[in-house]
Amino acid sequence: MGSTYYITTPIYYVNDLPHIGHIYTTVMADILARYHRMAGRDVRFLTGTDEHGQKIERAAAARGVAPIELADRVVARYHALWEQLEISHDDFIRTSEERHQRGVAEIIRRIRAAGDLYKGEYKGWYCAGCEAFYPETQLEDGRCPDQGHPVELLSEPSYFFRLSAYQDRLLQWYRDNPDCIQPRTRYNEVMRFVEGGLRDLSISRVSLKWGVPFPGDPEHVVYVWLDALTNYISALGFGSDDDTLFQRYWPARLHLVGKDILRFHCVYWPAFLMSAGLPLPERIFGHGWWMRDEAKMSKSLGNVVRPDHLLERFGSDPLRYYLAREMAFGQDASFSDEAFVERYNSDLANNLGNAASRTLSMTHRYLEGSVPAPASDGPVAEAARATITAYTAHMEALEPHRALDSVWQLLTAINGYIQEQQPWSLAKDGEAAMPRLREVLGTALEGLRVVSVLIAPVMPGVARRLGAQLGLGEGEPRTGSLEWTTGPGARKLGPSEPLFPRVDVKAFLKEIAMTESRPTAPAEQPDDGTITIDQFASVHLKVGMVVEAEQVPKSRKLIRLMVDLGEGEPRQLVAGIAGRYAPGDLVGRRVVVVANLKPARLMGVESRGMVLAATVDGEPFLLAPDGEVPPGSEVR
Ligand code: ME8
């Protein structure tokens, strides 16, 4: 196996904000990138955004902004989110960048030189949701067969790529490289699709302006999938004067994508590369879907889970852990807050948290924090050796959920060992039991050291904190340190702090319900979606004046406000507006408040009402009356 490891995520559309599905792909790619770095490989990890095409042009028009403005706004959110999630990408490519467009021009130049390009007329159906062309025979009830989006009829001049000429070469590539598409079921699906025959592919559009100008014919823009797929090489400098990175890292070792976009990656992309005379990626892995209520979570279905609350409440590592552990890599899974918090309590607080806090506090108490040598064999050493072997094999085989499973087997062994050896009893037995006590704690600590290395790709923050508490030096973990070390520790523990405070499941679910709550429709509501004037009148809207404002402790988004609603005493409200407003700017401002909303607690702070704000891409803009109206004035 070579020592470079180039891994990519799909580049995400900028028509909306990221949700759990996008986070999943990026987190899994990050886990693999961190694992391979730990194993000493020269890793390059790429992610980015797909900014052209009809979908983005329309989303921008609907918001009344230029496409690039929408892209800039959403890209800023992606950057912030990836930072919050500790995503360790080496590069972030945007298809609106010049370096990318140079790569697109170069691949088209090569495709043209190979004789695979011709001009014709595209007549047929187009799905803007998938940015894909479909023959009439494939439509289902007049909608796209993949995601059920609406389709539209196109008839326009277009450049075509001779995809049909690549059927045999693609089939040969699949046969010669049985691991190039994973999991196996996806490989079979792709084979069957290509065996069914390939039509030439339209790779330019004239009825669209927002795209890369087609080289040699600027009336056309490049089809967004040819544009987007090229990111994997343009980011390495393909098409520019300096292609050092391209020489070093291409072909990619792994394109990680959701199964929804497998055809583009396993059929079109290798065919484009073959035509351009470039090496093909080693592997494309199509992971499953996060579902909500039995439907794929997707922007267009409006059933997405956003990560904000979980991240705010738990930080990034528990979410990374949940995503990696809950979904068997390759299969679908259902996202549930309940499963999240249960895993948090059982795997993290009880299992990992307990093993660490018990061992560390006993070592502080009985041995003044100095780390003794472990037993060279016995149940924990054996479990650790077995875990190291299994973990490495599973990570190499793209089974991170299994790798984690093996780490938890080691934790079970550590907890069982402590229970059995009862160091607290040994500590009562005086000097004679000291050597045994030292060995027991040394063994548990060594087990935890191994755990701290193994969890680092999945929970980098927790691994660092656990490492510091175990008295391990700074620096990135290496799989070289993945051995059961038997020498005397000769190190001191760092200060202890709980890693995972337990969470009350019921209280948490209530809290989630509040943050997600929408007013439910009254029984007499007409079923055409309208409401009566009486129903509207039941919402008491009032003008308020902010008299006090402060950030809710430990929350990035929430601000606690005291608002004068003309009631004598000001009211306490909590608003998720800190992203845009500083507490100091709010005092003295007039706001509009839903005054008769049932009180709710947000991050433990009571909120008696709700401040109204317009939201644009998740950013709040407070509403205010047009004039200095007195607090308490009604809004109708
Ligand atoms: O398709 N479950 O971008 P996109 C799991 N721009 N993963 C999900 C998911 C879900 N419910 N929803 C989305 C595009 N994903 C193109 C890609 S690449 C050259 C161009 C993940 O913003 C999954 O990885 O629609 C999927 O492939 C990707 O987000 C699609 O993101």
| Gap between the Cα atoms of 259 and 330, Å rounded | 8
Q: Provide the mean pLDDT of the chain.
A: 91
Domain identity same for 425 and 292: no
Domain identity same for 175 and 244: yes
Domain identity same for 547 and 470: no
CATH of the domain at 107: 3.40.50.620
CATH of the domain at 549: 2.40.50.140
Is 488 domain-assigned? no
pLDDT attached to residue 522: 34
Mutation probe of ligand 1 site: the residue of 32, 47, 50 with most atoms within 8 A of C-beta: 50
What is the atom index within ligand 1 of the atom nearest the CA of 12? Answer: 22
Is 52 domain-assigned? yes
Is 514 domain-assigned? no
Residue 517 has pLDDT above 50, yes or no: no
Domain identity same for 366 and 467: yes
Domain identity same for 125 and 243: yes
pLDDT attached to residue 129: 86
Residue 105 has pLDDT above 60, yes or no: yes
Residue 336 has pLDDT above 90, yes or no: no
Q: How confident is the model at residue 630 (pLDDT cuts 50, 70, 90)?
A: confident
Residue 601, amino acid: R
Give the angle 201-203-207 at the CA atoms, nearest 5°.
120
CATH of the domain at 418: 1.10.730.10
Residue 369 has pLDDT above 90, yes or no: yes
Residue 525 has pLDDT above 70, yes or no: no
Is 500 domain-assigned? no
Domain identity same for 291 and 408: no
| Gap between the Cα atoms of 380 and 82, Å rounded | 36
Domain identity same for 455 and 563: no
173: left (phi over 0), alpha (psi -120 to 50) or beta: alpha
Q: pLDDT tens digits for 409-441?
A: 999 999 999 999 999 999 999 899 999 999 999
What are the E-state strand segments in 312-450?
Answer: 333-334
Residue nearest to atom 30 of ligand 1 (CA): 12
Domain identity same for 448 and 539: no
Cβ of residue 297 lying under 6 Å from some atom of ligand 1: yes
Cβ of residue 255 lying under 6 Å from some atom of ligand 1: no
pLDDT attached to residue 520: 33
Domain identity same for 384 and 292: no
Helices then strands, each counted (H, E), the chain: 23, 25
What is the atom index within ligand 1 of the atom nearest the CA of 232? Answer: 19
Q: Pick from 453, 482, 511: which residue ends a domain?
A: 482
Distance from residue 343's CA to the centre of ligand 1 (Å): 25
Is 490 domain-assigned? no
Q: How many domains does the chain have?
A: 3
Is 497 domain-assigned? no
Domain identity same for 299 and 355: no
- Note whether 515 and 602 are within 8 A (CB): yes
Residues β-bridged to residue 563: 546, 571
Mutation probe of ligand 1 site: the residue of 8, 9, 11, 12 with most atoms within 8 A of C-beta: 12
pLDDT attached to residue 488: 62
The predicted model gives 180-198 an average pLDDT of 97
Is 489 domain-assigned? no
Distance from residue 257's CA to the centre of ligand 1 (Å): 7
Residue 1 has pLDDT above 60, yes or no: no
Residue nearest to atom 10 of ligand 1 (CA): 21
Distance from residue 21's CA to the centre of ligand 1 (Å): 7
Structure token digits, residue 206: 């004239």
Residue nearest to atom 29 of ligand 1 (CA): 22
Per-residue burial over 561-572, b if 16 or more Cβ lie within 10 Å, else e, is bbbbbeeeebbb
| Gap between the Cα atoms of 599 and 81, Å rounded | 30
The predicted model gives 603-616 an average pLDDT of 89
Is 252 domain-assigned? yes
Domain identity same for 198 and 243: yes
Domain identity same for 472 and 524: no
Residue 476 has pLDDT above 70, yes or no: no
The predicted model gives 174-198 an average pLDDT of 97
pLDDT attached to residue 534: 65
| Residues above pLDDT 70, as percent of the chain | 94
What is the atom index within ligand 1 of the atom nearest the CA of 49? Answer: 6
Q: Pick from 433, 460, 482: which residue ends a domain?
A: 482
Q: Note down the domain range covering 347.
A: 331-482
Residue 207 has pLDDT above 90, yes or no: no
| Gap between the Cα atoms of 453 and 456, Å rounded | 5
Residue nearest to atom 21 of ligand 1 (CA): 22
pLDDT attached to residue 147: 79
